[in-house]
Chains A and B, each alone.
Chain A
Amino acid sequence: MGINNYFIGRCIGALVALIGILFMSAAVYAEDAPASGAAASPEVAATPGAIPPLEERLLLCGGCHNPDGNSIIPENPRLAGLDAKYIARQLGDFKSGKRTNATMSSIIPMVDEKEFKSLAGYFSKQTRLTSTSDKAELVAKGKQIFEEGVLGTAVPACMGCHGEDGSGSEAFPRLNGQNPPYVVNQLTNFKNGGRTNDNKGLMQAVAKRMNEQEINAVAEYVSTLKEAE
């Protein structure tokens, strides 16, 4: 089930990347073209290298993350309601290679750094949706770890940094409503050294103390968490 989802997610991701690349080459082609056609669209001719309008960008980002930032592909993160500075920092890290991901690393060269702020601003203003889970036992275990940590192995409580309701901050990402497979992948990457761009190395230190069951439980729980009123 998990593998299947993962596979589908990767396929959709790759497809969107492909569409994005085609889209981009079409744009480049259009930019090259005006010399021959005097009636070429004025925006293209007048502003070479200009920032594409948001609607156009949402076609690129929205394919994987949904236009409202609540990704329906479980492997992809929900961006809605994430802190704008946090999103911008992640985009910068993808750009510089500090954070890597097959799909994002192939998309990010198409996006100019000047766009990061407006894209981050847009997604940060969207409302994060919360999911439901039918895995009551896993959710209960996750809740305990989220609120109390694991005393024996010194796993700190998640809410210490991410907040009681998982709403996060500039330094620590929002977790409430996040897609479980995405959270599992990230924690596993932090644990194995696949992701190292966390704030001050704190998440790596914590993830190294977590086992697979704990990671699964926490991921399931946060997807059901709602922002405090």
Chain B
Amino acid sequence: MMKKSLFMVIALLLPLQAAVVKADDAYVPKVYGNKNYVWDEMTPERVEVLKQTRDPVAGKDSFRGCQGCHKADAAGVREGVYPRLTGQHASVIIKQITEIRAGIRKNPKMLPFVEDPAITTEEIGNIAAYLSTLTSYRENGKGPEDMSEKGKKLFIANKCSTCHGKNGEGSEEKAYPAVASQHYGYLIREMNLIRTGVRGNSNPDMVKAISKFSQSDMDAVADYLSRLPDYRTVVAPVASSK
């Protein structure tokens, strides 16, 4: 009897303790799927980085710790395990790194290399500035067979260009990623992670746009985008705001 009531007390106290621990956390990331999730939230760190003057020369030095995966030319790996970063908009790099650091985008493989003390808030902007200036890149990974026609149709029909642009150029202003010439494998993986919400920072509009895609539809769109030329050879690059 005594034993039983003791258990009851402990059982009652346990959730209380958990609640206290949770309340102590200063920042709880709002991840996709949570009721209070706000896509594209301007986190304090992101606001701070966007305000800073960015130094691409210092960024090159800071990027050294990233090269083990993204390679010295920032072109990633053709298998798509690591994305090509050359010419990606600075605003996109800043959004993604700050969201990974904040726990909004789930990327356990990358986290130790971008969280404190691996890089500082200032270094995020510098790295982003450096990457946006890079032009040379190795040939990217493409699909096993050319599915461009089907992919192009799906890309147009589902209005993907609204955000990612007609040439897959994305937007520096709105922090939409350039997707042209990205690795095929990476595009497929991220489409899946975005659609299932596993990525953590999914854009609900994109989830809706690709919700009815079959796996082969996603493969086709990825193949189409991977075969598009670097957007800067097609459209004039938009100058970074700073």
Chain A residues proximal to chain B, CB less than 8 Å: 148-149, 151, 154, 156-161, 164, 169, 171-172, 199-202, 205-206
> Which of A151, A159, A202 is B65 in contact with, Cβ under 8 Å?
A202
Q: List 27 A-B contacts (CB under 8 A).
A: A149-B69, A151-B81, A154-B81, A154-B109, A156-B68, A156-B113, A157-B67, A157-B68, A157-B71, A158-B68, A159-B67, A160-B64, A160-B65, A160-B66, A161-B65, A161-B68, A169-B64, A171-B64, A199-B65, A200-B65, A201-B118, A202-B65, A202-B112, A202-B113, A202-B118, A205-B112, A205-B118
> Taking the complex as formed, is B187 at the interface, i.e. its CB lies under 8 A from any CB of chain A?
no
Q: Nearest Cβ in chain B — how far from A150, in angstroms?
A: 10
Q: Which 10 A-B pairs have the closest CB atoms?
A: A156-B68, A160-B68, A160-B67, A205-B112, A154-B109, A156-B69, A157-B68, A200-B118, A151-B81, A200-B117
Cross-chain contact A161 with B64 (CB below 8 angstroms) = yes
Q: Nearest Cβ in chain B — how far from A133, in angstroms?
A: 23
For chains A and B in complex, what number of residue pairs have CB atoms within 8 angstroms? Answer: 52
Cross-chain contact B64 with A172 (CB below 8 angstroms) = yes
Please, how many angstroms separate the alpha-carbon atoms of A160 and B62 in the complex? 12
Query: When each residue 68-86 of chain B gets 1 if its CB lies under 8 Å from chain A and 0 otherwise, what string results?
Result: 1101100001010100000
Collect the chain A residues with CB atoms within 8 Å of residue B113's CB: 156, 202, 205
Q: Nearest Cβ in chain B — how far from A83, in angstroms?
A: 14
Which of A156, A199, A206 has the most chain B CB atoms closer than 10 A to its own CB?
Answer: A156
Please, how many angstroms separate the alpha-carbon atoms of A159 and B72 in the complex? 9
Collect the chain A residues with CB atoms within 8 Å of residue B67's CB: 156-157, 159-161
Collect the chain B residues with CB atoms within 8 Å of residue A172's CB: 64
- CB-based nearest B residue for A164: B72
- Interface size on B (CB < 8 Å)? 17
Cross-chain contact B118 with A160 (CB below 8 angstroms) = no
Q: Nearest Cβ in chain A — how far from B114, in angstroms?
A: 10
Please, how many angstroms separate the alpha-carbon atoms of A31 and B241 in the complex? 67
- CB-based nearest A residue for B112: A205
Q: Nearest Cβ in chain A — how far from B211, in angstroms?
A: 29
Collect the chain A residues with CB atoms within 8 Å of residue B66's CB: 160
Please, how many angstroms separate the alpha-carbon atoms of A148 and B119 in the complex? 23
Collect the chain A residues with CB atoms within 8 Å of residue B81's CB: 151, 154
Please, how many angstroms separate the alpha-carbon atoms of A151 and B117 in the complex? 24
List B residues 75-127 near A (Cβ within 8 Å).
Answer: 77, 79, 81, 109, 112-113, 117-119
- CB-based nearest B residue for A153: B109
Q: Nearest Cβ in chain B — how far from A65, in angstroms?
A: 27
Instruction: Knowing A160-B66, A171-B64 are in contact, say whether A151-B72 is a contact too (CB < 8 A).
Output: no
Collect the chain A residues with CB atoms within 8 Å of residue B65's CB: 160-161, 199-200, 202
Query: When each residue 23-67 of chain B gets 1 if its CB lies under 8 Å from chain A and 0 otherwise, what string results?
Result: 000000000000000000000000000000000000000001111
Please, how many angstroms separate the alpha-carbon atoms of A214 and B231 in the complex? 39
Cross-chain contact A151 with B79 (CB below 8 angstroms) = yes
Q: Nearest Cβ in chain A — how far from B132, in angstroms?
A: 20
Please, how many angstroms separate the alpha-carbon atoms of A154 and B109 in the complex? 6
Please, how many angstroms separate the alpha-carbon atoms of A169 and B112 in the complex? 21
Please, how many angstroms separate the alpha-carbon atoms of A160 and B70 in the complex? 8
Please, how many angstroms separate the alpha-carbon atoms of A201 and B112 in the complex? 8
Collect the chain B residues with CB atoms within 8 Å of residue A202's CB: 65, 112-113, 118
Cross-chain contact B118 with A149 (CB below 8 angstroms) = no
Q: Nearest Cβ in chain B — how far from A102, in angstroms?
A: 27
Collect the chain A residues with CB atoms within 8 Å of residue B117's CB: 200-201
- CB-based nearest B residue for A206: B68
Please, how many angstroms separate the alpha-carbon atoms of A24 and B112 in the complex? 44
Please, how many angstroms separate the alpha-carbon atoms of A149 and B109 in the complex? 13
- CB-based nearest A residue for B111: A205
> Which of A151, A160, A169, A201 is B71 in contact with, Cβ under 8 Å?
A160
